C-alpha cells in the first residue's frame, strides 16, 4: 500500500451497456440489491440510469475518500493526481494487489474504491468480495482494460456501482466517483439482464459437452498438446481430434484457443 502520488492523468471512460431484456424476472434478485435496499429508493431517468438515492447521498462536508487499487504505477499516479485536484474528493491510499487493498480498506475506511479487474494475486472480483467483508459500505467501481462480458458480470456479482473502461477521458472517472458516492448506480437493470442472458446461453453450450469433451478441454487449458492429452487420457490421437472438433462445433468456436478463452471467462476450466 502506498500514499497517493502526483502524476499525469490516465485515460478512462464510463461503461453504460445497452441491450434488450424480454423477461424482467431474469434480473429481479440481482436488481433488488442495487435499487431496492431496505429504507432506500431509486429514481430512474429517461436513459434508464438510476437517480440519486436519498439515504445514501453524500451531502457536503467531508471530501469523498477514494482508495485506488491498480498495479500499474503510471495509471495509479495519474488517477491520484486528477482526483486530488478536485475540491470534493481525495485519495486516501493506493494498493497494487488484493492483499494490499483489503488491508487498506480496513485501515483507511474509503467511501469509494476504484478496482482494477486484473491484479497480481487475484481478480477485482476477489478483491471486491474481500472488501465487502471489512468495509461493506464502500462503493465499488471496476476500472479496467478488461473489455469482456465476464469482467462486467463479475462487477454485477460484486454489487459494484459502476464498470469503467480505461479508454477515454479520466474526467469520466471523477464524475462516476461523485455519482456513486451519492448512492447512484451506473450499471442499469437492462445491462444486468443482457449479461445474465448471455451467460446462460454460454453455460447451456458447455452443458451440452460430454464428460470426455470437458476433460479434453480442461487438459488443453492446462497447456497440453493434443498428443499429450491423448497420452494422459489413454486414448488415441485421432479420438482426441474428434473430441476437439465436436466441442468446437458445440461451443461455436473455430480453434482450441477460442474454446479455452470462452471457458476461462466463465470459470469453467482452471
pLDDT digits (tens, 9 = 90+) for 96-144: 999 999 999 999 999 999 998 889 998 888 899 899 999 999 999 998 8
pTM value is 0.62
Q: Which CATH code, of 3.40.50.2300, 3.20.20.150, 2.60.40.10, 3.40.50.720, is assigned to 13-195?
A: 3.40.50.2300
DSSP code at position 247:
H
User: Measured between alpha carbons, how far is residue 173 from residues 108, 140, 223, 252, 264 in Å?
Assistant: 21, 12, 38, 36, 28
CATH 1.10.760.10 is right for the domain spanning 208-265:
no
- In tens, the pLDDT along 83-97 reads 999 999 999 999 999
Domain positions in the chain: 13-195, 208-265
- In tens, the pLDDT along 164-221 reads 888 767 788 899 999 999 999 888 888 888 888 877 887 788 888 999 999 999 999 9
Whether the domain at 13-195 and the domain at 208-265 fall into the same CATH topology = no
In this structure, are residues 129 and 158 in contact, taking their beta carbons and an 8 Å threshold? yes
Closest to 142 (Cα-Cα) out of 85, 80, 187 = 187
Q: What are phi and psi of 256, to 5 degrees?
A: -60, -40
**H-helix or E-strand spanning residue 114:** strand 112-115
Amino acid at each position: 500500500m502506498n500514499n497517493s502520488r502526483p502524476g499525469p492523468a490516465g485515460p478512462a471512460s464510463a461503461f453504460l451497456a445497452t441491450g434488450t431484456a424480454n423477461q424482467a424476472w431474469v434480473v429481479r434478485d440481482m436488481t433488488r440489491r442495487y435499487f431496492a435496499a431496505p429504507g432506500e429508493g431509486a429514481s430512474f431517468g429517461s436513459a434508464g440510469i438510476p437517480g440519486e438515492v436519498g439515504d445514501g447521498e453524500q451531502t457536503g462536508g467531508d471530501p469523498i475518500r477514494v482508495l485506488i487499487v491498480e498495479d500499474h504505477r503510471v495509471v495509479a499516479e495519474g488517477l491520484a493526481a486528477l482526483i486530488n485536484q478536485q475540491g470534493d474528493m481525495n485519495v486516501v491510499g493506493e494498493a497494487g494487489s488484493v492483499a494490499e487493498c483489503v488491508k487498506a480498506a480496513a485501515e483507511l475506511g474509503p467511501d469509494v474504491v476504484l478496482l482494477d479487474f486484473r491484479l497480481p494475486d487475484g481478480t477485482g472480483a476477489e478483491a471486491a468480495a474481500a472488501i465487502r467483508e471489512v468495509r461493506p459500505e464502500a462503493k465499488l467501481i471496476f476500472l479496467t482494460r478488461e473489455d469482456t462480458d465476464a469482467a462486467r458480470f463479475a462487477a454485477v456479482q460484486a454489487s459494484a456501482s459502476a464498470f469503467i473502461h480505461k479508454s477515454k477521458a479520466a474526467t469520466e472517472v471523477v464524475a462516476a466517483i461523485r455519482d456513486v458516492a451519492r448512492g447512484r448506480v451506473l450499471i442499469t437493470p437492462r445491462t444486468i439482464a443482457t449479461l445474465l442472458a448471455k451467460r446462460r446461453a454460454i453455460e447451456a453450450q458447455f452443458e451440452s459437452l460430454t464428460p470426455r469433451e470437458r476433460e479434453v478441454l480442461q487438459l488443453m487449458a492446462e497447456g497440453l498438446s493434443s498428443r499429450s492429452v491423448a497420452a494422459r487420457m489413454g486414448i488415441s490421437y485421432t479420438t482426441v481430434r474428434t473430441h476437439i472438433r465436436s466441442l468446437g462445433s458445440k461451443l461455436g468456436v473455430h480453434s482450441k484457443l477460442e474454446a479455452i478463452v470462452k471457458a476461462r471467462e466463465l470459470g469453467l476450466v482452471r
